[in-house]
Amino acid sequence: MNIIQLQVTSFRNLVDLQLNLKKGVTLFYGMNGQGKTNLVESIYVLSKTHSFRSYHHKEFIHYDAKEACVRAKVHKKSGTHQYQILLTNQGKICFINKNKVAKISQYLGSIQTISFIPEDVRIFKESPRIRRWLLDSELASLFPVYMKQLIIFQKVLEQRNALLKKMSEKQKNLLSIIDEQLLNVSYELYHKRSWLIQQLNELLVTLYQKITKQKDQISIVYKTYLDEKDKEKYIDLAKSMLNENLNKDIEKTFTQIGVHKDDFEIYLNDKAVSLYASQGQQRLISLSLKLAMVELNTRINKDEPILILDDAFSELDKDKKQALLNYILSKEQVFVTCTHYSEVIQEAIDQPIEIIKMRQGNVVERGVICNGRKQSESL
């Protein structure tokens, strides 16, 4: 999968930007605040309909505009398609081949992207909600039905919590019906999350060792209230647990146990990364986790996702930079941001890398580096 043409209008400081893009690695470089991250963020928003650094779509719209638009022509194994997202103060509208999509869920998964940003280390520092979101967003991109299941779960959980606030003997029959619905969809979420962590475990250690050139062992441990692979047993056990906890739930007026409390912990050589790993180790592990998602996404969808690396090279030593570069050179399309291309390209390589200089939201220089030589291109 690769983007052939990109057009960005009134997205942050990108007022009117049009780019023809190539396969392989493209470096967007320039001083801070010039639009490098905004550019790769626009690609991510086009893919996911949300950002990797902001929850409010209104923030994307240029201060002097009423709406922002990102449009791209994308080549996939199924052919070449045009995708567009229009961002207004009222919401988001998506288009596929110029046809408006009725529901966002029908659009998600059309363009597959995986991103790494420096803030990804927050998975080791912030609440379980951040880690659940990481699992859920990846599963939604792999299996579109997962997002529908997650929405159903959230709605049924809200119904249960609302009932707990006004609970009486007469409403216990209604509660049992809601519990049945909740646990059926809970199992589907648990089953998929458990599967995802198992798959990532197999890939994460290999990729971390490839980048670091060390023999460290990494494992991801899934933390859930009930670990039972058989669906019938899972539902029976979960019912018993909900019944045992019912008085506490009524007292607190919300459901205290369930997959909405799920979490995971990553261990480096049997020690919790969140507690014992250095900042550099945490950054490398979170990067390796995203690379593992690239490999898994490729395996499942039979088409490589677009990889976005925002400031991924800046804190790596020379050997790790070269190892990461060697990895991404094998990928179909990768977008990298950096202050200068020399941060990424330290040795002469025989594979062309496109370099694009950004200044004040515009492309001011474009070229290719191959075999240590830089060749400029006309804009």
Give the residue from 308, 305, 223 showing the smallest Cα distance to 259. Answer: 223
HSE, side-chain direction, 13 A CA sphere, residue 137: 19
Structural domain ending residue among the three candidates 256, 287, 302? 302
Residue 372's pLDDT is 81
Tokens of 328: 């991404």
Q: How far is CA 366 from its chain centroid?
A: 29
Residue that is last in its domain, among 280, 302, 324: 302
Tens digit of each residue's pLDDT (9 = 90 or more) over 119-136: 999 999 999 999 999 999
Q: How many domains does the chain have?
A: 2
Ranges of H-type helices in 277-372: 279-301, 318-328
Q: What predicted TM-score, i.e. pTM, was given to this entire model? A: 0.94
Residue 101: CA atoms inside 13 Å, Cβ hemisphere, count? 20
Is 208 found in the same domain as 126? Answer: yes
Using alpha carbons, select from 159, 160, 137, 157 the residue that is nearest to residue 147.
Answer: 137
Q: What is the CATH number of the domain that holds 321?
A: 3.40.50.300
What does the pLDDT read at residue 212? Answer: 95
Q: How far apart are CA 340 and CA 313, in angstroms?
A: 11
Same domain, 155 and 233: yes
Coil, helix or strand at residue 63 = coil
Contact (CB, 8 A) for 4 and 81:
no
Residues 131 and 260 in one domain: yes
Q: What are phi and psi of 66, to 5 degrees?
A: -100, -15
Q: Can you list the residues of the chain whose pLDDT is less than 70? A: 55, 378-379
DSSP 315: T
Both 172 and 212 in one domain: the answer is yes
CATH number for the domain including 185?
Answer: 1.20.1050.90
Structure tokens given for 201: 């475990």
Same-domain status, 196 and 296? yes
The whole-angstrom separation of Cα 204 and Cα 365 is 37
The gap between the terminal CA atoms of the chain, to the nearest Å, is 25
In terms of residue numbers, what domain contains 68? 1-112+303-379
* Residues 157 and 197 both lie in one domain: yes
Query: Are 198 and 342 members of one domain?
Result: no
Query: Of 328, 297, 313, nearest to 24 (Cα)?
Result: 328
Q: What is the pLDDT of residue 103?
A: 86
Please name every residue paired with 29 in a beta bridge, in sequence order, or none if there are none: 338, 357
| Element housing 267 (H / E) | strand 263-268
Residues 83 and 145 in one domain: no
Residue 12 backbone class (left: φ over 0; alpha: ψ -120 to 50; beta: rest): left
Q: Which of 277, 302, 327 is the last residue of a domain?
A: 302
Task: Give pLDDT, residue 360.
Answer: 94
Give CA 102 to chain center in angstroms.
Answer: 23
Question: Is the dihedral angle over the CA atoms 310, 315, 318, 324 positive or is it negative?
Answer: negative
Choose among 302, 374, 363, 316: nearest CA to 34.
363
pLDDT given for residue 378 in this prediction: 65
Please indicate, yes or no, whether residues 154 and 273 belong to a single structural domain of this protein: yes
DSSP run (H or E) holding 157: helix 144-164
Would you call 91 exposed, middle or buried from its count of C-beta atoms within 10 A (0-12, 13-18, 19+)? exposed
Over the stretch 7-41, which tens digit does the pLDDT of each residue have? 999 999 999 999 999 999 999 999 999 999 999 99
- Who's near 101: CB < 8 A, 6+ residues apart? 94, 95, 107
Q: What is the rounded CA–CA span in Å between residue 204 and residue 125?
A: 20
What distance lies between CA 225 and its chain's CA centroid? Answer: 25
CB atoms within 10 A of CB 125: 9
